[in-house]
Structure 1
Amino acid sequence: MGKQKNAADESQVAEAAGSERRGRDRELNDLRTVMSTPEGRRFIWRWLGMCGLFAPSFETNARIYFNEGRRDIGLRLVAEITEADEALYLQMQLESFENAKRGD
């Protein structure tokens, strides 16, 4: 376990914030890297479809909770992608529509 941080120590607070920012930047860069290729965009689009993002989640039984859980993951992924680079999300969407027209 790491050393206890002192919230009253400005240098420790700044160091923790910087570490958190670097971690978040790394996460978003990882996503940009995946989304920078057609293969990565197709992979993510398939997963968004499996999450039920583009389908109604309503059911007349308890399955609605399962559907909403899957959909929540998809919505979180879209939020991550658009934070990383919203143009890549739009590109992925356009490519998927073009692929669907061609029957791919």
Structure 2
Amino acid sequence: MHDPNDARQVREAERLEKQAQERVADDLCAVMATEPGRRFMHGLLGLCDIRSDGYVPGGLEAQRHQDYRAGRRSIGIELLGELERHVPEMTELMSAEARFNEIETELAAWATEEQNDG
């Protein structure tokens, strides 16, 4: 049983918490150190709709959907916070690579369209 007044138990709990945080940081660094890892993380954040306000008009069913989206968004915000805390430079790189990939995809689509029209 945990006694919050026992300094030894408190120190041990703090040590375990710090160790868990270091593991999270190490894992995030490993994922974000690779381009595929950054692409995966960007896609995951995209699934979380973190840039959405989450509002869904309608009745009770819409409220359920809105609550679901709010939960998903909350997870994304938490994940982004962890990334920014542990690997901020990789988070910026992830965003830049995603923008570059979007532009590259748009240019390829435009070139294909021009080729088909010409």
Higher helix share: 2
Q: Report what 2:29 is aligned to.
A: 32
Equivalences for 1:78-97 in 2 at 5 Å?
78-97=80-99
- Give SS of 2:21's match: helix
TM-score (norm 1): 0.86
- Give SS of 2:80's match: helix
Name which one, 1 or 2, has greater alpha-carbon Rg: 2
Identity in percent: 29
Q: Report what 1:77 is aligned to.
A: 79
- How many aligned positions are there? 101
Which ranges of structure 1 fall in alignment gaps of 5 or more residues? none
Judge which range, 84-93 or 6-15, deviates more: 6-15
1:49 aligns with 2:46: yes
Q: Report what 1:98 is aligned to.
A: 100
Which ranges of structure 2 fall in alignment gaps of 5 or more residues? 107-118
TM-score (norm 2): 0.77
